A and B are shown apart, each in its own frame.
Chain A
Amino acid sequence: MTFRLTCPVCGKRDVYEFTFGGQERGPRPEQDGLSAEEHFRWTQFRLIPNEPQEEWWYHGQGCGVWFRTTRDPGTNREVR
Chain B
Amino acid sequence: MSRLRPGETCRVDFSRPLEFSFLGREMTGYAGDTVASALYGAGVRIFGRSLKYHRPRGLYSMEGESANTFMSIDGVPNECAETTELRAGMAIEPQNVRGDPGRDRFGFLDAFDRLMPAGFYYHLFHRPYALWPLFQSGLRRMAGTGVLDPGAEYRNGVRTERYLNADVAVIGGGPAGMAAALAAGESGLRVCLFERRGRLGGQMTWRVRDFEGEPLYRRAGALAARVRAAENVNVFTRSPVTGVWGENLVTGFAVGTEDDPFRECHWECRATTVVVAAGCMDRPLVFNHNDRPGVMQVGTAWRLARTYGVRPGKSVAFSVADDLGLEAAIDLDDMGVRIRFIADARESGQQGPEVFDALCDRAIPFFPGCAVSRAVGRKRVRGCVLRSLKGGRSRRFRCDLLVANAGMQPRIGILATAKARLAYCTHTHGYQPTELPPGVFVAGSMTGLRDPRSIEASGRVAGYGVAEWCGGRLKSVAGARAPAREAEALPGPGAGCGIIHAPAIGRGAKAFVDLDEDGTYKNVKESIARGLDVPELAKRFAGFGLGPGQYRVAGQNLAMIMADLRGDPVETAHPTTVRPPLGAPSLATLAGPGHDVHKRTPLHSELAGRGAVFRRAGAWQRARHFGDDPSCRDEIRNVRTNVGVLDSSPLGKFRIHGPDALNALQRVYMSDMSKARPGRCKYSAMCNDMGQLMDDGVVVAEGPGDYYFTTSSARAGDTVEWFRFHTRHDDWDYNLVNLTDVLGSLNIAGPNARRVLERLTRDNVSNQAFPYLACRRITVGDGVEARCLRLGFVGELSFELHAPASYVPYLWDLVMEAGADFGIRPFGLEAQNCLRAEKGHVIIGMESEQRVTLTDIGMGWMWDREDTVSKKVGAPALRACDRQPGRLNLVGLRVEEGAKAPRDGTLVVDGDKIVGYVCTTRSSDTLGWQYGLALVHREHAFPGRRIHLCHEEAPGQRVTSTAFVMSPHFYDPRGERLRS
Contacts and interface: CB of A to CB of B under 8 A. Distances in A.
B117 interface: no
B493 to A, nearest CB: 32
B720 interface: yes
Contacts of B690: 43
Given A3-B247, A31-B868, A21 B725 contact: yes
Given A4-B247, A31-B871, A39-B880, A66 B689 contact: no
B877 A39 contact: yes
A62 interface: no
A32 B879 CA distance: 12
B180 to A, nearest CB: 24
B724 A58 contact: yes
A24 to B, nearest CB: 9
A72 B249 CA distance: 19
A66 B270 contact: no
A28 interface: yes
Interface string A1-42: 111100000000010000101000011111110101001100
A73 interface: no
Interface string B545-586: 000000000000000000000000000000000000000000
Contacts of A65: 724
Interface residues of A, number: 27
A36 B247 CA distance: 42
Interface string B869-884: 1011001110110000
B245 A2 contact: yes
B729 interface: yes
B728 A66 contact: yes
A3 B689 CA distance: 29
A66 B868 contact: no
Contacts of B249: 2, 14
A36 B880 contact: yes
B246 A3 contact: yes
Contacts of B877: 39, 43
Contacts of B872: 31
B721 interface: yes
B721 A39 contact: no
Interface residues of B, number: 24
A64 B876 CA distance: 28
A2 B725 contact: no
A17 to B, nearest CB: 11
Given A27-B729, A28-B871, A43-B690, A2 B246 contact: yes
B721 A32 contact: no
Contacts of B880: 36, 39-40
Interface in B845-880: 868-869, 871-872, 875-877, 879-880
Given A4-B247, A43-B690, A28 B875 contact: no
Nearest to B689: A43
A9 to B, nearest CB: 13
Contacts of B726: 28
Contacts of A40: 880
Nearest to B163: A14
Interface in B864-916: 868-869, 871-872, 875-877, 879-880
Contacts of B245: 1-2
A58 B730 CA distance: 16
A1 B246 contact: yes
Contact of A39 (B246, B247, B730, B876): B876
A64 B868 contact: no
B721 A28 contact: no
Interface string B224-250: 000000000000000000000111010
Contact of A58 (B689, B725, B875): B725
Contacts of B875: 31
A55 to B, nearest CB: 12
A19 B246 contact: no
B247 A28 contact: no
Contacts of B730: 27
Nearest to B726: A28
A34 B246 contact: no
Contacts of A39: 876-877, 880
Interface string A45-73: 00000000000101010001110000000
B721 A36 contact: no
B658 to A, nearest CB: 16
A11 to B, nearest CB: 13
A26 B880 CA distance: 22
Contact of B270 (A14, A19, A27, A29): A14
Contacts of B869: 31
Interface in B53-92: none
Contacts of A4: 247, 270
Contact of A64 (B721, B728, B871): B721
A20 B246 CA distance: 18
A66 B876 contact: no
A47 B403 CA distance: 60
A76 B689 CA distance: 28
Contact of A19 (B689, B721, B868): B721
Nearest to A60: B721
Nearest to A65: B724
Contacts of B270: 4, 14
Contacts of B879: 36
B247 A56 contact: no
Interface in B222-280: 245-247, 249, 270
Interface string B923-952: 000000000000000000000000000000
A29 B729 CA distance: 11
Contacts of B871: 28-31
Contacts of A31: 868-869, 871-872, 875-876
Nearest to B867: A31
A3 B438 CA distance: 13
Interface string B704-725: 0000000000000000110011
Contacts of A14: 249, 270
A22 to B, nearest CB: 9
A35 B249 CA distance: 47
28 contacts: A1-B245, A1-B246, A3-B246, A4-B247, A14-B249, A14-B270, A19-B721, A21-B725, A26-B729, A27-B729, A30-B871, A31-B872, A31-B875, A31-B876, A32-B868, A36-B876, A36-B879, A36-B880, A39-B876, A39-B880, A40-B880, A56-B728, A58-B721, A58-B724, A58-B725, A64-B720, A66-B721, A66-B728
Interface of A: 1-4, 14, 19, 21, 26-32, 34, 36, 39-40, 43, 56, 58, 60, 64-66, 76-77
Given A64-B724, A66-B725, 17 more contacts: A1-B245, A1-B246, A2-B246, A2-B247, A2-B249, A3-B246, A14-B249, A14-B270, A21-B725, A21-B728, A26-B729, A28-B726, A31-B869, A31-B875, A31-B876, A43-B690, A60-B721
